């Protein structure tokens, strides 16, 4: 009861919990498409690619308003995606190498800019590097509202283009033969993932963002074979991980929020892998043991 009371009325806790849960929902929903299209690590690359965008946005505007920095992050992430697609299409390099290239060189450039800024001797810049590891504890109401607006817009677009995205995910050739602009739809879907990543930067940081996209979707996949159900479950799991990570980290001042969210998520993934009603490993093992017994008693 005390916890509920805190959750409703404690300003910091409410922001952290709301922000983390929001992130969980948005990245859960978009992660489903990424995972099913076998682009699970796209989020990881985008998160790293966003870093120079944050630094450049700050250098250009001198502002640390969340919207400005997130816009910079989104543009850089988006450029990273275009470069990635180009590398995959025009060179013999695999997608995996393309991800590694975009991720590491953009990030390296971001580090150059961040260190360059920090040596410029102005006190105002402090806190830009919080994007590296995320710092959910510093979320204020402004951030949460920005996250809600951006995330809400992304979810709305998913709802409007649900049919198209579904077709694109499961049978891209069929979609193309029906006359859907598959390339534009792919870019749209990837851009939405950029939004999810950008929202996550402030909360869980660059490094852990990969799991925020992949984890809820993989967990949800083990419970169902239907996309709509999977999306709903992924949103639920994402929110659950965000909320519990936030609560655990608040209960002990030594615990950082981002890693706690990811560890909660890992637990959810493990439980789902073993006990998921559609594809749980435990049911598989049980069934096999039972079959073995039947076979043995029959022979």
Partner 1 sequence: MNSGLVIVLTGVLVATACALLGSFLVLRRMAMMADAISHAILPGLVAGYFVAQGPNLLVGFLGAATAAVVTVSLVELLQNTRRVGNESAIGIIFPAMFALGTFVVSKYFANVHLDTDAVLYGSIEFSSLDLLYVGNASLGPQSLWVMGGLCVLNLLFVGLFYKELKLATFDAGLAATLGFSPILIHYALMTVVSVTTVGAFTAVGAILVVALMIVPAATAYLFTHRLPVMIVLAVAIGALSALSGYAVALALDASVAGSMATMCGVFFGLALLFSPLHGLVARLRRLRRQRVQFASEALIVHLLNHERTANQATESAVSHLNVELRWTPQFAQQVMGWATRHGLIERTNGHLVLTERGRNSAQQLART
As given in the structure block, the two tokens for residue 283 are 């049911």
Nearer to partner 1, 72 or 216 (CB): 216
Report whether 196 contacts 26 (CB < 8 A): yes
Nearer to partner 1, 133 or 161 (CB): 133
Q: Of 15, 44, 53, whose CA–CA distance to 196 is shortest? A: 44
Smallest separation, CB 261 to partner 1 (Å):
8
Nearer to partner 1, 146 or 264 (CB): 264
**Residue ranges binding partner 1 (CB under 8 A):** 35, 38-41, 43-44, 48, 86-87, 90-94, 96-97, 99-101, 103-116, 119, 129, 132-133, 207-208, 210-211, 213-215, 217-218, 221-222, 252, 254-256, 258-260, 262-263, 266, 269, 273, 279, 281
CA distance 47 to 41: 10
Nearer to partner 1, 59 or 157 (CB): 59
Nearer to partner 1, 87 or 150 (CB): 87
CA distance 34 to 231: 12
Smallest separation, CB 204 to partner 1 (Å):
9
CA–CA–CA angle 217, 219, 225 (5° rounding) = 75
Nearer to partner 1, 17 or 209 (CB): 209
Smallest separation, CB 148 to partner 1 (Å):
24
CA distance 222 to 93: 32
Smallest separation, CB 298 to partner 1 (Å):
28
Report whether 45 contacts 80 (CB < 8 A): yes
CA distance 235 to 238: 5
Smallest separation, CB 284 to partner 1 (Å):
9
DSSP letters along 104-132, please?
Answer: HHHHHHHHHHHHHHHTT--GGGTTTTHHH
CA distance 44 to 248: 25
Smallest separation, CB 151 to partner 1 (Å):
20
Q: Of 78, 74, 202, 220, whose CA–CA distance to 140 is shortest? A: 202
């Amino acid at each position: 009861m005390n916890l509920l009371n805190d959750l409703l009325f404690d300003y910091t806790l409410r922001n952290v919990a709301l922000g983390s849960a929001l992130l969980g929902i948005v990245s859960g929903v978009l992660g489903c498409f990424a995972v099913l299209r076998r682009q699970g690590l796209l989020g990881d690359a985008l998160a790293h690619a966003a870093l120079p965008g944050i630094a450049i946005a700050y250098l250009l505007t001198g502002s640390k308003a969340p919207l400005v920095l997130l816009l910079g992050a989104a543009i850089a992430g988006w450029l990273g995606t275009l470069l990635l697609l180009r590398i995959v299409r025009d060179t013999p390099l695999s997608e995996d190498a393309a991800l590694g290239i975009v991720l590491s060189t953009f990030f390296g450039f971001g580090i150059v800019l961040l260190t360059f800024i920090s040596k410029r001797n102005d006190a105002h810049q402090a806190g830009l590097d919080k994007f590296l590891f995320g710092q959910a504890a510093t979320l204020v109401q402004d951030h949460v509202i920005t996250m809600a607006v951006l995330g809400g817009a992304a979810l709305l677009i998913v709802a409007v283009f649900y049919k198209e995205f579904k077709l694109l995910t499961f049978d891209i050739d069929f979609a193309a033969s029906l006359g859907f602009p598959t390339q534009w739809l792919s870019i749209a879907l990837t851009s939405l993932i950029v939004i999810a990543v950008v929202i996550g930067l402030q909360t869980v940081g660059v490094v852990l963002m990969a799991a925020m996209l992949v984890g809820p979707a993989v967990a949800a996949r083990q419970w169902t074979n239907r996309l709509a159900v999977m999306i709903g479950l992924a949103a639920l799991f994402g929110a659950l991980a965000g909320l519990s990570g936030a609560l655990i980290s608040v209960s002990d001042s030594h615990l950082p929020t981002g890693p706690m969210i990811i560890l909660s998520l890992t637990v959810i993934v493990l439980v789902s892998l073993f006990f998921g009603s559609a594809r749980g490993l435990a049911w598989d093992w049980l069934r096999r043991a039972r079959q073995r017994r039947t076979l043995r008693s029959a022979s």
